[in-house]
């Protein structure tokens, strides 16, 4: 990577084993995980803006016209694959640039092209409150898990959100709601929302059924979890075909135009769905569990998911686990490391203290991060 966050330039060579990154606060550990998360379309694990991650001391645009760039060679089931992404400096683009992605030397064919060779799931300290806060963060977590399972999911999500944004804008601009041309256009957008939205909800539904089965068992000392989806879209799909559900969604959009115009957003649809997680043994909703238990539930879900993806796609997702190990007791730590190795996932784990990772032994590879430089130990 070049000119990304605190890194002027970094080249890291590693093998297939999990990667342990240790170093003092501010060394650049999370930045490195964030760079990996940027290999996929989206805003990465900090949900940063493209301009925020440009190294602040970077003096000039890089050769090739980029402000920052990240590339990786992946060892995939079908052989080595080169992927890369960056922020291309353009005069007219938003903040003077636009995101570009490449695969094997050519522009990536579609958003899902990269998702077909790489899936990345992360757990970061910010997610400690995932079960306590609003549904948006849980939905993002869910959709990332689904995308790791089904590469077309991201495109579906974008299609839906784009149609929804256009409809909201149109409703806002036509405050009287009387213009016939706009009404036709709104109907067309509602049709697009219904098609992509029900496809989105159906993909989540299929996925959650499988994930729920996997999570019911728990993983070693990590708690068994019951997971279900809740929301209007889930109700429409209950005992109905996708086409019938689309009709219901379209009717509901058509009849809530006035309310949506007033609210400035669509009040119903899969963008309002949520996941409900229950700690099975305690028979307690995740939000009512202790902070430590909530974290253990999240780890349990991520491990069950990794196992599911590795069975389905013959490759486990990359796991980015920022400062996870330090907060686990030694039993759970060992179980986490064992499961990562058993699934064959390349987990990238950070911590300030290398001792915490001792149970990995030589099953992992170790790097020391200091002042945005990385060296093997």
**Which of Mg ion, ligand ADP, none has residue 154 at its interface (CB below 5 to 8 Å by kind)?**
none
Q: Does residue 196 interact with ligand ADP by CB under 6 A?
A: no
Q: Give least dist CB 214 to ligand ADP, A.
A: 31
Q: Considering only residues 241 through 280, tell me which ones interact with ligand ADP, judged by CB under 6 A.
A: none
**Residue with Cβ nearer Mg ion (29 or 295):** 29
CA 186, CA 170: separation in Å to the nearest integer?
7
- Spatial distance between the Cα atoms of 63 and 207, rounded to a whole number of angstroms: 42
3-state secondary structure of 373: strand
Nearest to 328 by CA among 294, 368, 287, 278: 294
Which of 293, 285, 206, 278 minimizes the C-alpha distance to 242? 206
Does position 46 bind ligand ADP by CB under 6 A?
no
Least distance in Å: CB of 364 to ligand ADP? Answer: 18
For 113: left if phi > 0, alpha if psi spans -120 to 50, otherwise beta; the answer is alpha
Under the binding rule (CB under 5 A), the answer on residue 22 touching Mg ion is no
Instruction: Determine the Cα–Cα distance for residues 216 and 68; give it in Å rounded to an integer.
Output: 43
Residue 31: name its binding partner from ligand ADP, Mg ion, none (Cβ under 5 to 8 Å by kind).
Answer: ligand ADP
How many C-beta neighbours within 10 Å does residue 377 have? 9
Q: Using the rule CB under 6 A, is 27 a contact of ligand ADP?
A: yes
* Residue 60 binds to ligand ADP (criterion: CB under 6 A): no
Angle at 12 between CA 6 and CA 13, to 5 degrees: 175
- C-beta closer to ligand ADP: residue 55 or 305: 55
Rule CB under 6 A: choose which of 18, 20, 22, 30 binds ligand ADP: 30
User: Which residue from 15, 25, 175, 181 is in contact with ligand ADP, where contact means CB under 6 A?
Assistant: 25
Residue 74 host element (H or E): strand 66-76
CB 198 within 8 A of CB 234: no
Instruction: State which of residues 10, 50, 55, 190 lies at the interface with ligand ADP (CB under 6 A).
Output: 55
The verdict on 67 binding ligand ADP (CB under 6 A) reads no
Residues that bind Mg ion (CB under 5 A): 29-30
Residues that bind ligand ADP (CB under 6 A): 5-6, 23, 25-31, 53-56, 369
């Amino acid at each position: 990577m070049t000119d990304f966050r605190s890194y002027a330039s970094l080249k890291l060579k590693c093998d297939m084993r999990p990667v342990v990154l240790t170093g003092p606060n501010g060394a650049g550990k999370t930045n490195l995980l964030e760079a990996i998360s940027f290999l996929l379309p989206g805003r990465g694990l900090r949900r940063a803006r493209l301009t925020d991650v440009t190294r602040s001391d970077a003096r000039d645009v890089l050769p090739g016209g980029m402000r920052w760039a990240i590339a990786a060679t992946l060892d995939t089931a079908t052989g080595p694959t080169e992927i890369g992404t960056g922020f291309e400096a353009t005069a007219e683009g938003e903040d003077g640039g636009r995101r570009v992605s490449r695969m094997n030397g050519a522009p990536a064919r579609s958003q899902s092209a990269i998702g077909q060779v790489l899936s990345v799931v992360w757990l970061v300290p910010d997610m400690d409150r995932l079960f306590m806060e609003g549904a948006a963060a849980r939905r993002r977590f869910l959709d990332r898990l689904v995308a790791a399972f089904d590469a077309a999911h991201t495109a579906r999500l974008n299609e839906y959100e784009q149609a929804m944004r256009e409809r909201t804008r149109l409703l806002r601009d036509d405050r009287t709601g009387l213009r016939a041309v706009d009404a036709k256009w709104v109907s067309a957008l509602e049709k697009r929302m219904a098609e992509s939205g029900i496809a989105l909800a159906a993909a989540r539904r299929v996925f959650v059924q499988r994930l729920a089965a996997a999570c019911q068992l728990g993983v070693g000392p990590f708690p068994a979890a019951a997971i279900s989806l809740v929301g209007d879209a889930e109700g429409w799909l209950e005992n109905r075909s996708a086409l019938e559900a689309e009709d219901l969604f379209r009717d509901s959009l058509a009849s809530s135009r006035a309310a949506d115009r007033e609210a400035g957003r669509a009040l119903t649809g899969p963008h309002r769905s949520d996941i409900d997680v229950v700690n099975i043994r305690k028979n307690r909703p995740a939000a009512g569990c202790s902070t430590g238990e909530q974290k253990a539930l999240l780890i349990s879900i991520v491990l069950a998911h990794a196992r599911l993806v590795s069975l389905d796609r013959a490759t486990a997702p990359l796991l980015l686990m920022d400062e996870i190990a330090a907060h686990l007791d030694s039993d759970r730590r060992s179980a986490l490391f064992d499961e990562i190795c058993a699934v064959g996932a390349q987990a990238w784990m950070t911590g300030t203290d290398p001792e915490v990772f001792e149970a990995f032994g030589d099953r992992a590879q170790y790097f020391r991060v200091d002042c945005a430089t990385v060296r093997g130990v």
